[in-house]
Structure 1
């Protein structure tokens, strides 16, 4: 009887299924990311950058307006906080050519109006000039003189003044009355546009430059105040054509 060598076979191993790769974790779309906090160093750097930008911009504006160069030191005042910029722009004055043009547009003082400190009233132009001791025009403006021929041309002087006055016919009141002549029925002088008994002004500012009064020279209130301050008793008044 032949012998057969018994062979022990190891049981077949079952192959394990391939290991599934775990997908990369993706954040849920509903999960909000927390904002990143800026450190104090970054905040300071940002503030410094903003300040520098403002300085450069202001320097450029100052250069364009002033017609010259302006450094950052001239524009920024002392400040411990770089984010705070205090700028002072130069005062821009009108060019000399514009000033000369404005002076040329102002009506010239009548040639026959005398000399020295005086008030000049032109009946034809319905205009007043306040002229100082140096022959400079301190102020000039339109007025409304008399619609009647009751004032002769010539040289007068201020005789009296009244802060408040009533019209000769009691139809209204006026302020800053500066008298320099006498008419047929009452004194003649410069004063504010009268206020009627109904509380309304007897004319508008746009009507100045037209003869509308019953005998005096009407002025807008600001001009009446200016003449009142300019003309004490004795001030020369020249009436021209």
Structure 2
């Protein structure tokens, strides 16, 4: 009795799928191990974190001094503070000094109030709304939806699509670069009212 041979195309397809899975796994591991988060040298140097006024693209004028103050009871030391009500982020240094503060455009799913940690970072991808994003810094999951800071590659600030559950907290490209540089894995994210 002859054993039936698999056609050549089946072998090629199987080997190709295995190779792609291996390459994808190695790419993810390299992204976690690389000091630049997997961006690669071709991306060039990233801007340093520096103070800025609120993003003009956010459609708001410069914030009043009381709006720019770090909310009380948001923790101590180096952290990212996100205010749900003010739709604002603060990057706070070890000395509790504000390094940068800016307004954001939240998705339709909000993170729970309290303390979270940056759990994963991704240099670029596609948001759940189909928009190309970069500087993706994940820190929470709410009702099965991942919540992350990011900026749209095209600079857009789209309103959440009605009926679509999105956890992306969008910001300008410059602010996204700042969060990427500041929000390394394990960084505390304090979510307040």
Give me the TM-score of the superposition, normalised by structure 1.
Answer: 0.48
Unaligned runs of 5+ in 2: 1-62, 160-164
Return closer, same or farther for 1:103/1:185 CA change in 2, 3 Å cut-off.
closer
Return closer, same or farther for 1:142/1:103 CA change in 2, 3 Å cut-off.
closer
Question: Shift of residue 194 of structure 1?
Answer: 5.8
Does residue 113 (structure 1) correspond to residue 74 (structure 2)? The answer is yes
Aligned to 1:193: 152
Cα displacement string for residues 9-65 of structure 1 (whole angstroms, at most 9, x for unaligned residues): xxxxxxxxxxxxxxxxxxxxxxxxxxxxxxxxxxxxxxxxxxxxxxxxxxxxxxxxx
Question: Shift of residue 132 of structure 1?
Answer: 0.3
Question: Which fold has the larger relative contact order, with Cα–Cα distance below 8 Å and residues 6 or more apart in sequence?
Answer: 2
* Correspondence 1:70-89 to 2 at 5 A: none
* Corresponding residue pairs, total: 127
- Give the alignment partner of residue 107 of structure 2, picking from 146, 157, 164: 146
Aligned to 2:133: 174
Does residue 125 (structure 1) correspond to residue 77 (structure 2)? The answer is no
Unaligned runs of 5+ in 1: 1-101, 208-212
Distance 1:185 1:114 in 2: 26
Aligned to 2:23: none
Does residue 228 (structure 1) correspond to residue 191 (structure 2)? The answer is no
Cα RMSD after superposing both structures: 2.6
SS in 2 for 1:114: coil
Question: Shift of residue 231 of structure 1?
Answer: 1.2
Question: Shift of residue 122 of structure 1?
Answer: 0.2
Larger Rg: 1
SS in 1 for 2:178: helix
